[in-house]
Amino acid sequence: MNESLLAGRYAKALLNQALEEGVAGELYPILRHLSRSIPTAAGWRATVDNPTLSEELRARFVVALAGVTPPELLVRFVELIFAHNREALLGEMARAYVRLYRRHQGITYARITTSRELTPATIEQLRGVLTERFGGQVELEIIVDAGLIGGFVVRVDGRQMDASIKGQLERIRRQFAGKNKAIV
């Protein structure tokens, strides 16, 4: 079975159970954190794939990555994942849960990359514009990347608007290269 499809099914089952138990909102920030930290956690693969460690110990390692005491449902879920040898999909399951939860709650996720820090007033202004445009709640992630030179890049629901100097220079470069090919 396709791993992405499998991870999505596990995430959907977890969300349904979390909604039933009333802990879906509590799981959301934990799984959002895990979705970002699992791929970068020091020793993640070495610990999770270590056959000399018990399933329980490896599961506790994953739960410890959450940084908080998680709901019992998450502990049971992680133990189930290890019992069925699906631990390699945990990061993907966490990302799928986050996407499903956002969709269920009507949350629009927007990632804004800027060349410098934004003021709180600017962030709230952006949030207002995005809320007006997409409705519902807007969750912003602000990333500072000096490599943009100036301007910003907004990514919402797979769509991207690039208003950065770096993006403009790249478009000019491609345009120039295309015209020069025609000449030669």
Q: How many CA atoms lie within 13 A of 80 on its CB side?
A: 11
Same domain, 14 and 91: yes
Same domain, 7 and 72: yes
Average pLDDT over residues 157-180: 79
Same domain, 11 and 86: yes
Same domain, 29 and 91: yes
Same domain, 51 and 111: no
C-alpha 131/C-alpha 124 separation (Å) is 10
Same domain, 64 and 42: yes
Bigger pLDDT: 171 or 131?
Answer: 131
Residue 77: closest CA among 28, 34, 13: 13
Same domain, 12 and 59: yes
C-alpha 109/C-alpha 140 separation (Å) is 6
Same domain, 16 and 94: yes
Whichever domain contains 155, its CATH number is 3.40.30
Same domain, 68 and 94: yes
Same domain, 113 and 160: yes
Per-residue confidence (pLDDT) for residue 150, from 0 to 100: 79
- The pLDDT-based confidence of 73 (bands split at 50, 70, 90) is very high
Same domain, 82 and 17: yes
Question: How many structural domains does the chain have?
Answer: 2
Structural domain boundaries enclosing 15 = 3-103
Whichever domain contains 86, its CATH number is 1.10.520.20
In this predicted model, what pLDDT tens digit does every residue of 15-54 receive, in sequence order? 999 999 999 999 999 999 888 887 666 567 777 777 787 8
In this predicted model, what pLDDT tens digit does every residue of 107-165 receive, in sequence order? 999 998 888 898 999 899 988 988 898 888 989 999 998 888 877 888 887 788 877 77
Cα 30–Cα 33–Cα 39 angle in degrees, nearest 5: 130
Last-in-domain residue among 47, 76, 103: 103
